[in-house]
Amino acid sequence: MNLTLALESSAKAASVALCDGGTLIAQSFQNAGLTHSQTLLKMTEDMLRSCGVKLADVARIAVAAGPGSFTGIRIGVAAAKGLAWGSGKPLRGVSTLRATVSATELPGVLCPVMDARRGEVYNAVFRYDDGLYLRECDDRAVSLEVLADEARNRAVPYVLLGDGAELAYEVFRANHLNAVLAPELLRLQCAYGVAVASLGAADATELEPMYLRLSQAERELTERGL
């Protein structure tokens, strides 16, 4: 077997998954509002135990490295680093947005959206074509108004995914734009998508979170000229 242990903690929900190549063996998902520092490693231990798999049996560790919640990403990356270093396994970090679309096989223009607060979302745009996800733009922090303006030039509707999908959908509807929400069970970020996205990723010896923006504390210091 070619086992990947994947962790996802970039937003309110947290999940861990065990995959053999692109085949899901098990996934544990929690969206109960508990802090990821309380749940992520416990979910990992319980899932591996229930599958009769030891960390030594895993070929690699994969984690959503951002964008997303600053705290959630830090916890996920730190947990993945600890598991990888402690077991001597390779570590792979992937884009949260890329992982979100990797958990689906939905056709069309896929538009993962994560609520970044302050009137912005984390976003990228992909096109699913003949089994491949083709990236049309880099991961970015962008306003919903800009995203809506870009959609006006599309001949086909966006398929909205991610924890900000419903927020974006309301803005699209208010602007009379054609968009559809992905099915609820395929909408949120999940560790299975992280595992699939990691299959083509390079090992990262010094993985760092991908925030895209300054933290709130850093923004406040910058605004105060400090």
* pLDDT on residue 40: 96
Residue 226 within a domain: no
Task: Count Cα atoms within 13 angstroms, Cβ side, for 135.
Answer: 13
Residue numbers of the domain that contains 204: 3-96+189-221
Number of domains in the chain: 2
Do 84 and 122 lie in a common domain? Answer: no
Do 150 and 208 lie in a common domain? Answer: no
Among residues 86, 93, 89, 83, which one has the least CA distance to residue 10? 93
Tell me, what CATH number does 10's domain have?
A: 3.30.420.40
What confidence category does residue 218 fall into, taking pLDDT thresholds of 50, 70 and 90?
Answer: very low
pTM of the model: 0.91
Do 121 and 136 lie in a common domain? Answer: yes
DSSP per-residue codes, 20-70: ETTEEEEEEEE-SS--HHHHHHHHHHHHHHHHT--GGG-SEEEEE--SS-H
User: Is the per-residue pLDDT at 64 higher than 50?
Assistant: yes
Do 132 and 196 lie in a common domain? Answer: no
H or E segment and range at residue 108? strand 108-117
Do 20 and 58 lie in a common domain? Answer: yes
Among residues 208, 17, 211, 201, which one has the least CA distance to residue 98? 201
Q: Percent of the chain, pLDDT > 70? A: 94
- What are the pLDDT digits (tens) for 127-142? 988 778 899 999 999 9
Q: Which residue has the higher pLDDT, 221 or 105?
A: 105
Q: Which residue has the higher pLDDT, 53 or 107?
A: 53
